[in-house]
């Protein structure tokens, strides 16, 4: 990647500021009830065009979770976000619930969000499904361009260190209920690696379970376009073509990163027809006055278009370890020079979840963890394949809410309630399937 590419991107964005301002003013003018043209076909077309131009060329800020209440045991309670742990590249958020109707503490659930270009708020739906049932925590990863160089670097080893530190903190204060963890997509590798390292050290606060959803445990299985690209290009291609230095005026000035706008471009290119059609549909909704449909489009793309930069050290180490060398399934992965041995895991339960149509992590890639963790007792292992969903549907949407989340809750409940779960070794996990529904 040209060393000045990031600066050129910033300059192009700045150059469009006057055009965006003019477009926004035009939209307001042609939507004003005081303007007679606002009710004509011409006026609606102009307003819709102006809004689409502004949205396509704007920079989307970090979204918020926005949870205000949830229901716990039939009681509607308020939710407060609180930061309970913090490092330069991550904050641990707790969704504290003001409930008084708990006979005993509910289990803790730590959701490990991916460091893949989008913010943790992409998992808003994932979090929402668990709020009534657990003390929910989530990793809120930092935008690397906002972290000064003085704060040091961040790589895959640091990621694992962060998780071990969080597990230790939450495990110490478990109040009798277990700590359960859930990794969505990319975090599956550092999550299972962190648990393996803790098991190898006989750590007293190893999590009670880990649920891996659509994760690249072994990308040699059912390789997707993303996996094939990494194999074909090799590590050095990514180093030369995907890294840039953070420009002025960001706090991370000079830090080498994988820019979020490149990741977003890659995601968009994979399904360009779908995104183009979605924006055309929004244009038609605006012209027809279909406010509800247009608002759904806005909500989705406000989240989807909000991206952050990744530390170059983390990005390159992940490419090398996970997608090129396949170090974890080969038994060659290390953390701080020490081996990551998945056969050491025996106290932590394992559930794996895959989507039939996942075009990011193919079917079998996450299931591989079941075969690698041979010493987890049979009663603590479960695999679930959701039919009819792609990558996003594994952790969000109607089938996630109605089919996947309930199974995860049942899995955790069984581990919590069955004191005799730790029996048997190396058995093949049960695989569940359901047919695609019409929802």
Domain match, 74 and 41 both:
no
Please tell me whether residues 178 and 319 are part of one structural domain.
Answer: yes
> Does a structural domain hold residue 381?
yes
pLDDT by 10s per residue, the chain, length 439: 656 678 777 777 777 778 778 787 887 887 788 888 788 887 878 777 776 667 666 777 899 999 999 999 888 999 999 999 999 999 999 999 987 677 678 899 999 999 988 899 999 999 999 999 999 999 999 999 999 999 999 999 999 999 999 999 999 865 556 899 999 999 999 999 999 999 999 999 999 999 999 999 999 999 998 899 889 999 999 999 899 999 988 999 999 999 988 876 655 555 556 644 554 555 555 456 655 665 665 666 677 778 899 999 999 999 999 999 999 999 999 999 999 999 999 999 999 999 999 999 999 999 999 999 999 999 999 999 999 999 999 999 999 999 999 999 999 999 988 633 343 444 455 555 444 433 3
Residues 34 and 76 in one domain: no
User: What is the model's pLDDT at position 49?
Assistant: 75
Q: Are residues 33 and 74 in the same domain?
A: no
Domain count, the chain: 2
Residue span of the structural domain in which 359 resides: 70-226+311-434
CA–CA gap between residue 160 and residue 193 (Å, rounded): 7
Torsion, Cα of 394, 396, 401, 406 (10° steps):
50
Report if residue 110 sits inside a domain: yes
Cis peptide before 249 (omega within 30 of 0): yes
Residue 302, in any domain of the structure: no
DSSP tally for the chain: helices H, then strands E: 14, 15
* Domain end marker among 29, 59, 89: 59
Within-domain flag for 28: yes
Q: Say if residue 154 is in the same domain as residue 185.
A: yes
In terms of domains, do 135 and 188 share one?
yes
Q: Mark whether 89 and 154 lie in a shared domain.
A: yes
Last residue of a domain, one of 59, 83, 108: 59
82, 146: one domain:
yes
Q: Which residue, chain included where needed, has tokens 């049942």?
A: 410
Q: What is the CATH number of the domain that holds 341?
A: 3.40.50.1820
Give the tokens for residue 381: 């292992």
Is the domain of 52 the same as that of 127?
Answer: no
| CA distance linking residue 294 with residue 296, whole number of Å | 5
Task: Specify whether 38 is located in the same domain as 92.
Answer: no
> In this structure, how many other beta carbons lie within 10 angstroms of the beta carbon of residue 435?
6
Question: Which CA distances in Å does 424 have to 206, 243, 365, 367?
Answer: 20, 47, 24, 19
Assess whether 48 and 97 both reside in one domain. Answer: no
Of 307, 239, 225, the C-alpha closest to 269 is: 225
196 and 319 both lie in a single domain:
yes
Q: Is residue 161 part of a domain?
A: yes
Per-residue model confidence (pLDDT) at position 424: 41
């Amino acid at each position: 990647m040209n060393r000045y590419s990031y600066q050129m991107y910033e300059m192009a964005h700045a150059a469009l500021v006057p055009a965006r301002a003019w477009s926004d003013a035009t939209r307001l003018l042609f939507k004003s009830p005081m303007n007679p043209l606002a009710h004509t076909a011409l006026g609606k077309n102009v307003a819709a065009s102006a809004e689409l131009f502004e949205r396509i060329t704007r920079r989307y800020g970090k979204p918020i979770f926005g949870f205000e209440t949830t229901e716990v045991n039939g009681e509607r309670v308020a939710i407060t976000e609180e930061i309970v742990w913090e490092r330069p590249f991550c904050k641990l958020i707790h969704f504290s619930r003001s409930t008084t109707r708990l006979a005993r503490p509910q289990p803790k659930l730590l959701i490990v969000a991916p460091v893949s270009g989008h913010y943790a708020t992409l998992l808003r739906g994932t979090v929402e499904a668990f709020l009534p049932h657990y003390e929910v925590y989530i990793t809120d990863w930092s935008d690397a361009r906002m972290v000064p160089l003085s704060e040091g670097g961040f790589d895959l080893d640091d990621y694992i260190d962060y998780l071990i530190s969080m597990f230790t903190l939450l495990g110490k204060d478990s109040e009798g209920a277990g700590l359960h963890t859930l990794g969505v997509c990319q975090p599956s590798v550092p999550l299972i690696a962190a648990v393996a390292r803790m098991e190898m050290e006989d750590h007293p606060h190893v999590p009670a379970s880990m649920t891996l959803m659509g994760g690249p445990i072994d990308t040699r299985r059912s390789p997707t376009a993303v996996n094939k690209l990494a194999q074909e290009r090799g590590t050095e291609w990514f180093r030369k073509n995907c890294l840039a230095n953070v420009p002025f005026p960001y706090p991370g000035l000079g830090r080498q990163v994988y820019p979020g706008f490149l990741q977003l471009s890659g995601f968009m290119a994979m399904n360009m027809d779908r995104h183009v059609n979605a924006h055309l549909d929004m244009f038609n909704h605006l012209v027809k006055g279909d406010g509800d449909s247009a608002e759904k489009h806005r909500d989705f793309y406000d989240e989807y278009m909000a991206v952050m930069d990744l530390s170059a050290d983390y990005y390159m180490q992940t490419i090398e370890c996970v997608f090129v060398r396949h170090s974890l399934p080969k038994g060659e992965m290390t953390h701080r020079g020490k081996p990551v041995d998945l056969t050491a895991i025996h106290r932590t339960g394992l559930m794996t979840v895959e989507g039939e149509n996942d075009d990011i992590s193919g079917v079998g890639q996450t299931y591989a963890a079941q075969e690698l963790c041979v010493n987890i007792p049979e009663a603590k292992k479960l695999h679930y394949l959701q039919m009819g969903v792609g990558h996003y549907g594994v952790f969000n949407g109607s089938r996630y809410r109605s089919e996947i989340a309930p199974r995860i809750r049942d899995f955790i409940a069984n581990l919590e309630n069955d004191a005799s779960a730790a029996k048997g070794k190396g058995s093949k996990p049960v695989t569940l399937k359901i047919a695609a529904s019409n929802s």
